[in-house]
Amino acid sequence: MNVLLLGSGGREHALAWKIAASPLLTKLYAAPGNPGIGGEAELVKLDVADHAAIAAFCKDKKIDLVVVGPEGPLVAGIADDLRAQGIRVFGPSRAAARLEGSKGFTKDLCARYDIPTAAYGRFGDLASAKAYVEKTGAPIVIKADGLAAGKGVTVAMTLDEALAALDGCFDGSFGAAGAEVVVEEFMTGEEASFFCLCDGITALPFGTAQDHKRVGDGDVGPNTGGMGAYSPAPVMTPQMIERTMREIVEPTMRGMAVSGAPFAGILFAGLMITDKGPKLIEYNTRFGDPECQVLMMRLKDDLLVLLNAATDGQLAHTSVRWRDEAALTVVMAARGYPGTPEKGSVIRGVEDAAGDGVQIFHAGTAINGGALVANGGRVLNVTASGATVGEAQKRAYAALDRIDWPDGFCRRDIGWQAVAREQAS
């Protein structure tokens, strides 16, 4: 098979690494990719927003499958535009990608199908949103309705914080994404990430993980796109997975099919495990980043076979096998992230850090004058496997400490909840 992978982050490097290992693969292309992905695929200078150019490339290179990494192109309808020209795509339609593209759409779906989630209100103007917040009180959660690169959510512990977050949304901090807001009840519990491969009818559980959103150790500071993750998530027991499928995922699949937008691709449920069971925080319609990196480390089966089964509606006849090991990834970020990251600093020692159950996935990197340099906020994903999360953690940080990048930083406590559980048992 000839495969085209769209995207340029750590998630896409992990997907490229796994797809490249498939015996089914003839040629892997990636657009636009990054230096790490360039080790697995031929990089192509294509704009992922230019759907016509991507379609022309697919026809020229006889592409058998397009794998869409990031959410932006999916919400913009790239899957529809390629399918209209007979090109096979792994990823949801524009209508199905609304599960991520509009938080309000998803909340209304939950209300319609009794899917457990936080109580909420939807608002298109500042005054009514503020009135709701003042009536409800804090803590409370403010979310920009649209795509905001993981940064459009404020967990406001005070009323002033909540009102300031609303001001930010309606003042244009998140562009069009903040033109409407969702205001949610503050939920308590333990967060977990749950993934399903979907083909429009069948949803196949596809692993669990736990992300670390806050920028600082001890879960302090602003939210980021994710500073690290590990898999599996101990809180997602077999019983919790069964409940999540029955109460959340399966009603979603039925509801989307009834609405004429059956969901095919990867469905990523961000969950809060409360004392009453799993509740949906939000959906993403693509692999998580950095959760994808730990899932790919643990996946035993051929990823390309699974992506084909999802694309062809064959998941009812498919199973997924996982390695017994845990996996953990630590994000190395550029100074200034999650604000304005400093670009251009030189990174050394990446090749020396890999090996012995460790993979270094590139996220925001570039080559400048023959040197590897930082070219984004989240720059490297140092990913390791181990018999336990604690062992994977030690291996990841030992590898990370071999990388020479004075202008980078990371959290030093990724996996702390799972490690504490392991030590307690």
- Residue 111 located in a structural domain: no
Specify whether 209 is located in the same domain as 304.
Answer: yes
pLDDT recorded at residue 178: 84
pLDDT recorded at residue 218: 92
Find all residues with CB under 8 Å of 414, minimum gap 6, and list them: 212, 227, 228, 229, 230, 328, 329, 330, 393, 396
User: How far is it, in rounded angstroms, from Cα 54 to Cα 58?
Assistant: 6
Cβ atoms of 97 and 74 within 8 Å: the answer is yes
Average pLDDT, the chain: 95
Specify whether 55 is located in the same domain as 87.
Answer: yes
Pick the more confident residue, 255 or 153: 255
When divided into structural domains, the chain yields a total of 4
- Quote the percentage of the chain above a pLDDT of 90: 91
pLDDT recorded at residue 148: 78
Specify whether 365 is located in the same domain as 304.
Answer: no
Specify whether 194 is located in the same domain as 174.
Answer: no
Q: What is the CATH number of the domain that holds 288?
A: 3.30.470.20
Cβ atoms of 389 and 422 within 8 Å: the answer is yes
Global pTM? 0.95
User: How far is it, in rounded angstroms, from Cα 408 to Cα 337?
Assistant: 10
The DSSP line for 186-218 is ---SEEEEEEEEEESS-EEEEEEEEE--EEETT
Does residue 150 register a pLDDT over 70? Answer: no
Does residue 145 register a pLDDT over 80? Answer: yes
Cβ atoms of 284 and 268 within 8 Å: the answer is yes
Residues written for the chain: 425
- Residue 117 located in a structural domain: no
Mean pLDDT (whole number) for 127-137? 93
Question: Which of residues 136, 151, 179 is at a domain's end?
Answer: 179
Q: What is the CATH number of the domain that holds 352?
A: 3.90.600.10
Measured at the CA of 9, the angle between CA 77 and CA 353, to 5 degrees, comes to 160
Beta strands in 212-325 (DSSP E): 214-216, 220-223, 228-231, 264-274, 277-284
Q: pLDDT for 299-355, tens place per residue?
A: 999 999 999 999 999 999 999 999 999 999 999 999 999 999 999 999 999 999 998
Mean pLDDT (whole number) for 105-121? 96
What's the pLDDT band for 224 if we cut at 50, 70, 90? Answer: confident
- Residue 264 located in a structural domain: yes
Domain with 87 in it? 2-93
pLDDT recorded at residue 387: 97
Specify whether 207 is located in the same domain as 144.
Answer: no
Specify whether 330 is located in the same domain as 419.
Answer: yes
- Residue 317 located in a structural domain: no
Does residue 271 register a pLDDT over 90? Answer: yes
Question: Which of residues 250, 284, 312 is at a domain's end?
Answer: 312
What's the pLDDT band for 13 if we cut at 50, 70, 90? Answer: very high
- Residue 50 located in a structural domain: yes
Specify whether 6 is located in the same domain as 58.
Answer: yes
- Residue 171 located in a structural domain: yes
Specify whether 332 is located in the same domain as 403.
Answer: yes
Conformational region of residue 247, where left means phi above 0, alpha means psi within -120 to 50, and beta covers everything else: alpha
Cβ atoms of 209 and 192 within 8 Å: the answer is yes
Q: pLDDT for 391-423, tens place per residue?
A: 999 999 999 999 999 999 999 999 998 999 889
Question: Which of residues 312, 344, 371 is at a domain's end?
Answer: 312
Specify whether 198 is located in the same domain as 163.
Answer: no
Copy the structure tokens of residue 278.
Answer: 């799993």
Among residues 138, 129, 194, the alpha carbon closest in space to that of 161 is found at 138
Q: pLDDT for 70-95, tens place per residue?
A: 999 999 999 999 999 999 999 999 99
Does residue 246 register a pLDDT over 90? Answer: yes
Specify whether 211 is located in the same domain as 306.
Answer: yes
- Residue 384 located in a structural domain: yes
* H/E element, 4: strand 2-7
Q: Which residue has the tokens 């050394």?
A: 348
Mean pLDDT (whole number) for 365-375? 97
- Residue 102 located in a structural domain: no
Specify whether 302 is located in the same domain as 333.
Answer: no
pLDDT recorded at residue 154: 87
Q: Which residue has the tokens 């693509």?
A: 286
Specify whether 238 is located in the same domain as 201.
Answer: yes
